[in-house]
Structure 1
Amino acid sequence: MSYPLPMLINHEREKLIEAVKFFAQNTRKLGKTKLFKLLYFLDFTHFKDTGRPVTGLEYFAWPMGPVPTDLFEELKRPERDWDGNCSFEFFSTAKGQMLRVEALSEFDSSHFSKRELRIMHSLADQFKNSDAEQMVEETHLENLPWHQIYEVEGRKQESIPYRMAVRRQEEGAVMSLAADRAELVATLRK
């Protein structure tokens, strides 16, 4: 008799699931658009500080702002690792199909560094009562990566490189910090 193999979950995937739970438990009106913007701010803010994102999602410049397209597609048919963690309920409104995100279990902070948790708490406090339209406005501000790619460069639907979170004069220092950290982690794993 064969048994299904358990799904292998990497550390970034665990962080993604836990971050979604965190935002579902600490903000109001969490739908798809608001969730995508919170994850974008989490990843790009952390990258700006450390040279690495939290969730590892890739974001694309869509008309309503940055969208992690892999997660966008997955929410239509969530993977099994969401079971018991989050629910994604689609419902109809006057504005069309909407998604409601709810946490089904308690957030586990052990997956995150103090810096990551600080960023998450700051974002939850800042955007606790914001709706999707307000979140879209925040990502469209001038000089932010989405604005540069979509509006200035006209590269609609294209990937938003994380390095755009860092000012050019700081890029070398941040990337050096990320390389040093990666080297340290590789050494510790030996």
Structure 2
Amino acid sequence: MKSPITGKEMPLRKEPGVLTYRKEEFPVFYHYFLCEDTDERFTNDEIDGINMIQVHNQYREKYGIPFPDEIAGIREKYEVSAGKMSEILGLGANTYRLYEAGEMPSVANGRLILSVREPVEFLRQVDASTHLLSARETQKIRETARKLQVWDEENFWDVMFEQKIFTHQTPDEFTGYKEPQLDKIAQVIAFFSTQMDLYKTKLNKLFFYSDFCYYQKTGYSMTGIAYRAIPFGPVPAEYQKMYVKLSDDQQIEIRQVDVGNGNYGEQIRANQAFDASVFNAVELEVLEAVGRTFRQKNTDEVVRISHMEAGWSENESSKNMISYQKYAFTTSGVVC
């Protein structure tokens, strides 16, 4: 961005700060452009967006208000329109659509939306709204909800195992304010499989940089993975279980490979072609940047780079989880 005073390009700065929302203060990494000749600060719509997303994310987490992706996902699984969902929940005609677009629900409305994740509760709302629905609509919605109930019962153990993989299921500062997405995780592996040979330790770092760099640009993670600091660098918190699940689902193949000097490494390959349509433009940009950075680097070099991150060095001694909000905006510019 050019300075409106001098016409010169202004550097982007980030520094710890505080913003107020609904009479509460929230810590942020405040983004702004600095006019170095006048020492004045400026922002644009994109920068204002990053600043406010940080605040909104923390507010949603604090009060248990669902995130836009969650709100859309709840509606989509019941195969109803946003307008129809508003009617069923007793909201204003266009309210649900606005919530999906990012408008902040009240605490009460947010919790109402979360409650209908469960088909039983959603059916209660449908039964209370039959005067607003045609007989055909009511029947279709009930059939969809009951199919979901059957699916939940038949896949109970798979769901339980996935919950063991993703100890942070609800969007928060450790998931980058996104629900974990196993299919998307598999597609990240598919992307990097086209770029380089993947060994488990290196792949863990590719995930870390993809997620934290994407958060730096958007205020959200790419995959919803939570990370822990261990001696070999930042890793998905339950990465062993995650790879076992992906292997059991035949989305990846894990092989023991002789890496020389009597040592063996676990090589991971995708069992599916990369599908770019799963990702948005910024996600693809980040994946490409991470791939370029690490394509020619061996595992030891990747580990050494990850050890330079504050998110690792400040948490490794106690093997703590790594907060996206606290550390993503200081993640290495070598990658992001």
Both structures adopt the same fold (TM-score exceeding 0.5): yes
Query: Could you tell me which of 253, 260, 270 is aligned with 1:103?
Result: 270
Note if 1:139 corresponds to 2:139. Answer: no
In structure 1, C-alpha distance between the alignment counterparts of 2:305 and 2:262, rounded to whole Å = 21
- 1:183 alignment counterpart: none
Matches within 5 A, 1:48-67: 48-67=216-235
Note if 1:31 corresponds to 2:193. Answer: no
Contact 1:38 1:123 in 2 (8 A): yes
Cα deviation digits, residues 43-100 of structure 1 (max 9, x gap): 111111212111111111100100113222333564533x1x3211124553644111
Superposed structure 1 runs of 4+ greater than 6 Å apart: 6-11
Contact 1:91 1:98 in 2 (8 A): yes
In structure 2, C-alpha distance between the alignment counterparts of 1:121 and 1:112, rounded to whole Å = 12
In structure 2, C-alpha distance between the alignment counterparts of 1:26 and 1:92, rounded to whole Å = 21
In structure 1, C-alpha distance between the alignment counterparts of 2:304 and 2:219, rounded to whole Å = 25
TM-score (norm 1): 0.72
In structure 1, C-alpha distance between the alignment counterparts of 2:185 and 2:245, rounded to whole Å = 16
Task: Report the CA distance between 1:131 and its aligned residue.
Answer: 1.0
Contact 2:186 2:270 in 1 (8 A): no
In structure 2, C-alpha distance between the alignment counterparts of 1:118 and 1:57, rounded to whole Å = 19
In structure 2, C-alpha distance between the alignment counterparts of 1:79 and 1:128, rounded to whole Å = 24
In structure 2, C-alpha distance between the alignment counterparts of 1:70 and 1:11, rounded to whole Å = 12
Contact 1:25 1:102 in 2 (8 A): no
**Aligned pairs, number:** 158
In structure 2, C-alpha distance between the alignment counterparts of 1:110 and 1:19, rounded to whole Å = 12
Cα deviation digits, residues 100-157 of structure 1 (max 9, x gap): 111222101111110000000111111112111011011011x53112322xxx43x1
| Alignment gaps of 5+ in structure 1 | 168-190
TM-score (norm 2): 0.42
Note if 1:122 corresponds to 2:284. Answer: no
Higher relative contact order (CA 8 A, sep 6+): 1
Note if 1:166 corresponds to 2:329. Answer: yes
In structure 2, C-alpha distance between the alignment counterparts of 1:102 and 1:72, rounded to whole Å = 15
- Aligned-residue CA RMSD (Å): 2.7
In structure 2, C-alpha distance between the alignment counterparts of 1:146 and 1:130, rounded to whole Å = 19
Task: Report the CA distance between 1:40 and its aligned residue.
Answer: 0.2
Contact 1:43 1:55 in 2 (8 A): yes
> Percent same amino acid among aligned pairs?
24
Structure number, greater radius of gyration: 2
- 1:113 alignment counterpart: 280
Structure 1 counterpart of 2:181, which letter? E
In structure 1, C-alpha distance between the alignment counterparts of 2:242 and 2:294, rounded to whole Å = 24
In structure 1, C-alpha distance between the alignment counterparts of 2:182 and 2:285, rounded to whole Å = 19
Note if 1:20 corresponds to 2:183. Answer: no
In structure 1, C-alpha distance between the alignment counterparts of 2:228 and 2:304, rounded to whole Å = 16
Structure 1 counterpart of 2:228, which letter? F
When residues 79 and 103 of structure 1 are mapped into structure 2, their CA distance, relative to the original with a 3 A threshold, is closer
Contact 1:61 1:67 in 2 (8 A): yes
Contact 1:144 1:165 in 2 (8 A): no
